[in-house]
Structures are given as C-alpha cells and as structure tokens.
C-alpha cells in the first residue's frame, strides 16, 4: 500500500476526479471545508469525518451515499482513462 498521509491521497484523488468536471479551488478557510467545487463547499475525509460547514462530505470507508455524504469511491466512476473500448 502507499506510505504517507492517507488524507493527502484522498484530497489528491478528489481534485483529480473533479478538475475536468468544473472549477475546483482549495478553501482558504479550512474550518468550513477543503475544496470549493462549482460554488459548493466540500469536506474530504474518512468514515468519521464531520461536515463542518460544508455542503457535502466526501468520505472514504463508507459504502453508500446518505444525505450530504458521498462515498469517495463514487468519484472513481467519473474517471475515463485513455484506454476506451472501440
């Protein structure tokens, strides 16, 4: 597995998945969230991550979406690699 801070990997993954879909910025006020995506505040974290003042929480280690919680794996469905079936 990867070594290092897992939070950094989560945030890098979120940024990589969303950058082609809209405007993504880092939040200047970390007490409110991590990213601003299309005018929505996003917080990224693990299973117990609290929403702070964000519109959505993107959580690792959860299986299904609930209210304003989006499982991290769902963003992987947005990925479209270069190898496409013909």
Burial class of residue 21 in the structure, from the number of CB atoms within 10 Å of its CB (0-12 exposed, 13-18 middle, 19+ buried): exposed
Confidence of residue 24 (pLDDT cuts 50, 70, 90): very high
Confidence of residue 81 (pLDDT cuts 50, 70, 90): low
pLDDT confidence of residue 1? 56
Per-residue model confidence as pLDDT tens digits over 54-67: 999 999 999 999 99
Return phi, psi of residue 56, to 5°.
Answer: -140, 150
- What number of other Cβ atoms are within 10 A of residue 32's Cβ? 15
How many residues in total does the chain contain?
86
CA angle 83–75–23, rounded 5-degree value: 95
Strand partners, 42: 35, 56
Q: How far apart are CA 86 and CA 61, in angstroms?
A: 34
Confidence of residue 7 (pLDDT cuts 50, 70, 90): confident
Per-residue model confidence as pLDDT tens digits over 31-53: 899 999 999 999 999 888 877 88
pLDDT confidence of residue 28? 92
Consecutive H or E run containing 70: strand 69-71
């Amino acid at each position: 597995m990867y070594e290092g801070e897992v939070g950094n990997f989560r945030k890098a993954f979120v940024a990589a998945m969303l950058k082609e879909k809209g405007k993504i910025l880092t939040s200047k006020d970390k007490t409110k969230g991590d990213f601003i995506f299309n005018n929505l505040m996003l917080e990224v974290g693990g299973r117990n991550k609290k929403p702070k003042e964000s519109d959505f929480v993107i959580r690792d280690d959860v299986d299904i979406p609930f209210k304003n919680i989006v499982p991290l794996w769902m963003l992987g469905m947005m990925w479209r690699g270069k190898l496409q079936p013909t």
